[in-house]
Structure 1
Amino acid sequence: MRQPTLAVIGSAVTDIVVETPRLPGSGENIHVPRLAVMPGGKATNAAVTLVRLGAAVHLISNTGRDHWGEQLRQELAAAGIQTGLIGRHPSQPTGIVIMLAEASGQTAYIAHPAAGRSVSAADIRQRLTPLLPRLDGLLFNLEADEAALQTAADLAYAAGVPIFVDAGPVRPYAAGLWQHAAILSPNEPEAAALVGHNLADEAAVVAAAQALLAAGPPVVVLKLGARGAYWATPTAAGWAPAFPIQVIDPAGAGDAFTAGLVWASLTGQPLPQAVRWANACGAIVAGRFGTMPAMPQAEEVRQFLASHPA
């Protein structure tokens, strides 16, 4: 099997992950059992997962001209990501996200994306265009500027490169952004924001998927947490149940799911099997602490699926 080559567009930030028994109250000082500093951002998490599954990945993002940015580049390169298309913003610092992971499994975030959201349409034209003839796929989420993402989508579509869209975080972006996507994959709150109603029951999930299909993409996959995932095409649909795991830290699980879905799709897995593979990627991450170090290797996913037969 030939190694797929992808470009991933989104934020490259530094995650500061704090494991805490609970969130502190106003003015309260509590001691925590664990703290870790690691590369993060939705695009970074997905890129690392794709590399570990076996893809060649070029990450398109920006950092600042600071210590955090240089450390981030070094760690991403060490993880196997091609970092030549990560720019250095002249004035904005490298983005920082502080994640508070409670013992209950809930998480809270404090984010300063800064340079991580500064990629422009001009940056995309300069960095993505020479890469297009070598690409098997383009993955982006909604962390970047809408004009930059629309430019990327237009360039990839014109070049015949399959486009995969992770529709998060929630942004008021035009649906034309994923009109030509091969797969659109929002999570539950993102899908609810896109269609204007909650996904409280199965009928609402089905209606949401059909509404998103009407926007153009031939495949919609909804990430629904403990309910698993729901996939739909114009002619078929189905559920992929969640795996029974103990959730340690859900941060990054959705990004790993998306990367797993892209990988499985590009390597020829039928859609139901691809969604199950993606579910396994997300479950493995949710059962671990942290983001980048938690992303799975391909063999880990195979072993996980073998131990959880359908």
Structure 2
Amino acid sequence: MTDHVFIAGPASWNRIALLDRLPEPVPHMQFALGDWETVGGTSAGKALGLAGLGRRAVLHTLLGSDEAGERVRALLTAAGVELIATDGGRTERHLNLMTPAGERVSLYLATPDDRDDDPPREVVDAMTDAAAIVLDLAPLSRRLIPSARVTGRPIWTDIHDYDGEADFHRPFIEAADAIFMNADRIGDDPLPFMERCIEGGASLVVCTLGAEGAVAVDERMSRHHVAAEPVEVLDTNGAGDAFMAGVLDATLAGSPLPDALRAGARHAASVLTTRHLHPNLDALLGA
């Protein structure tokens, strides 16, 4: 076994438009506060975070041979991420409408073709050798669940704003040792759902709470809370991915859960100060 982390899921090329408020659903004109292009995708964010922390990160994703795909490949590689990119025909592209408060509407301009093939040998080998496997929400990752479970390596997943009902998320929840989420759609109190996940076999469930930090439930049903690090926020994009990357890296280094949560909060704070998924992209794309 090596010390690398295997991540499977989306990487994209995004144009961000910063608005003072999200558009109302009526015809109108609105001026942007600014706009820029950058690497996107929840799995790209985690891979960038782990690489930035000095941990070897192997990212399996779908990319096209188009200009957007070449940009994503070049930037992720330059930032230290190792890629296993399957041909998706075209690269995922988004137009993200953002507000300074972190509200977002994502318009998908292009999505890759998912051909439902068996995983390449190098993907299976990378999972088998990994210290941990991260499976993000995507058909590509969902097909890897049986192979990931066979390895016996710890599986981490991020179910984002899960509402407690959507069927697509359930195989990830059932397979995962560690589950990360946010509280946007789970109801007033995420703890009952988190505890049900522990009862179902998970050893760790973490829910991020924005400016209020995060709450975690461990395998003994003990609750832990970590405060958000004080920082002047430039952009909230990718903060949740950075938090999970920080917790995972610290956990693999042997830190107890309270320390790992604090490491996640520190790493998330570093991403809040950049308009890219990770500060390492600032030098490559411009701050």
For the aligned pair, the TM-score class normalised by the smaller chain equals 0.7 to 0.9
1:152 equivalent in alignment to 2:114:
no
Q: CA distance change for structure 1 residues 174 and 205 in 2, over 3 Å: closer, same or farther?
A: closer
CA contact (8 A) 2:39 2:276 kept: no
The answer for the alignment partner of 2:179 in structure 1 is 184
Instruction: For structure 1, list consecutive stretches of 5 or more residues without a partner in the other structure.
Output: 193-197, 297-310
Displacement, 1:186? Answer: 1.1
Q: Give 2:277's match in structure 1, choosing from 281, 288, 291.
A: 291
Which amino acid counterpart does residue 114 of structure 1 have in structure 2? T
Which residue identity is paired with 2:152?
A: G
Give the Cα–Cα distance (whole angstroms) in 2 for the partners of residues 43 and 206 of structure 1.
25
RMSD over equivalenced CA pairs, Å: 2.6
Match of 2:204?
Answer: 219
Q: CA deviation at 1:80?
A: 1.0
Residue 99 of structure 1 corresponds to which residue in structure 2? Answer: 96
Give the 5 Å matches for 1:249-288: 249-288=235-274
1:20 — aligned with what?
A: 19
Residue 184 of structure 2: SS of its match in structure 1? helix
**Letter of the 2:199 counterpart:** A
Q: Superposition pairs for residues 112-131 of structure 1, below 5 Å?
A: 112=109, 114-115=111-112, 118=114, 120=116, 122=118, 124-131=119-126
Listed one character per residue, the Cα deviations across residues 9-36 of structure 1 (whole Å, up to 9, x for unaligned) are 1111101122233345644444434322
Could you tell me how far 1:157 is from its partner in structure 2? 2.4
Aligned residue pairs, count:
277
Shift of 1:277: 1.0
- In 1, distance between residues paired with 2:115 and 2:230? 39
Matching residue of 1:207 = 192
Q: Residue type of the partner of 2:15? A: I
Aligned sequence identity (%) = 23
Instruction: Quote the Cα distance in structure 1 between the aligned partners of 2:105 and 2:94.
Output: 10
- Letter in structure 1 aligned against 2:123: L
Show CA shifts across 1:223-253 (max 9, x none): 1112211111232221112233343321111
Q: What is the CA–CA distance in structure 1 between the aligned matches of 2:211 and 2:240, rounded to whole Å?
A: 12
Greater alpha carbon shift after TM alignment, 63-72 vs 96-105: 96-105
Code of the residue aligned with 1:46 in structure 2: it is: K
**Is the CA contact 1:141–1:169 (under 8 Å) kept in the aligned structure 2?**
no
> Residues of 2 paired with 1:31 and 1:14: CA distance?
22
| Compared CA separation, residues 112 and 10, structure 1 to 2 (3 A) | farther
Query: Aligned-pair distance for 1:125?
Result: 5.0
Q: TM-score, normalised by structure 1?
A: 0.80
Distance change >3 Å, CA 50–CA 231, structure 1 → 2: same
**Any idea what SS the aligned residue of 1:186 has?**
strand
TM-score normalized with structure 2 length: 0.86
What secondary structure does 1:139 align onto? strand
How many angstroms apart in 2 are the aligned matches of 1:226 and 1:161? 32
Q: Distance in 2 between matches of 1:176 and 1:214?
A: 15
